[in-house]
Amino acid sequence: MRKKIIAGNWKMNKSFEEGMALVTEISGMLKDEYNGSAEVVIIPPFTHINAISRMLADEKNMSTGAQNCSNHASGAYTGEVSAAMLQSVGAKYVITGHSERRQYFMEHNAWLAQKVNAVLSNKLIPIYCCGETLEEREANKHFDILETQISEGLFHLTEAQFAQVVIAYEPVWAIGTGKTATTAQAQEVHAFIRKLIHAKYGEAIAQNTTIQYGGSVKPENASELFSAADIDGALVGGAALQSRSFVDIVKAMR
């Protein structure tokens, strides 16, 4: 059985105090209301990771992570944060290649491949994001785009390394827009991604790879999305900023 993961990507939101309050609420509500097996991952800004990892130290199914890391190990890279530093403050996951990083910070696949290496060599788990723009989908290029993003960012990995990776399919046109991919659209892409993995790494690894969906996931659409055969959880943005909506999304994963 593949691991199901619901991750909340806070992006550049929440003061330290607000963040601590939100995690306290979420963990309390999950204790009272959730007995499913999904892992719940809180992905706050860098400044909050240390405190949140301490808060969650005793929670069996909760962990924390980062939204990005440097592709370098250390040195004169002002403003950067290394994967080793993230590991040292208790992060477990690192998002790599979120579409906002690709779009606003010019991160491209070759660079992301280096970030994935940095993440894995520090025993952290990359959540590798991929997804097409509206223009690319309308031109029917989405499968090609996804294949390029995944092969250039991930397919240099050995089988043992790839087996650690989580993938998030996030159509750019669905992020923060309120416009979700239909369950059929998302399932079609998830099945395609699993087929790519199968062709490269074989059946066992393809069947074991967690593929999250992201893009306007809400309590109202989560159950239906999670009912699809190849959707193994969600990377949630806006709805992860409130305890009630985030916990309701987690509860949709049985």
Shortest distance, CB of residue 213 to ligand PGA, whole angstroms?
10
Q: How many residues bind ligand PGA (CB under 6 A)?
A: 13
Classified as helix, coil or strand, 42 is strand
Smaller CB distance to ligand PGA: residue 167 or 206?
167
Shortest distance, CB of residue 94 to ligand PGA, whole angstroms?
14
Give 5's contacts (C-beta < 8 A, 6+ positions apart): 38, 39, 40, 41, 166, 210, 212, 232, 233
How far apart (Å, rounded) are the C-alpha atoms in residues 168 and 234?
Answer: 8
Give 12's contacts (C-beta < 8 A, 6+ positions apart): 45
Smaller CB distance to ligand PGA: residue 116 or 206?
116
Q: Is residue 217 close enough to count as binding ligand PGA by CB under 6 A?
A: yes
Q: Is residue 238 close enough to count as binding ligand PGA by CB under 6 A?
A: yes
Q: Token digits for 153?
A: 């960012």
Return the sign of the alpha-carbon dihedral for residues 176, 21, 41, 153.
Answer: positive
Q: Which stretch binds ligand PGA (CB under 6 A): 66-74, 109-117, 213-221, 243-251?
A: 213-221
Q: Decide if 72 is catalytic.
A: no
Smaller CB distance to ligand PGA: residue 235 or 252?
235
- Please give, one letter per residue, the 3-state secondary structure of 183-242: HHHHHHHHHHHHHHHHHHHCHHHHHHCCEEEECCCCHHHHHHHHCCCCCCEEEECHHHHC
Smaller CB distance to ligand PGA: residue 166 or 206?
166
- Give the footprint of ligand PGA on residues 124-183 (CB under 6 A): 170, 175-176
**Residues 48, 98, 142, 190: which is the catalytic one?**
98
Q: Decide if 170 is catalytic.
A: yes
Site residues, ligand PGA (CB under 6 A): 9, 170, 175-176, 214-217, 235-239
Would you please indicate which residues are annotated as catalytic (active-site) residues? 98, 170
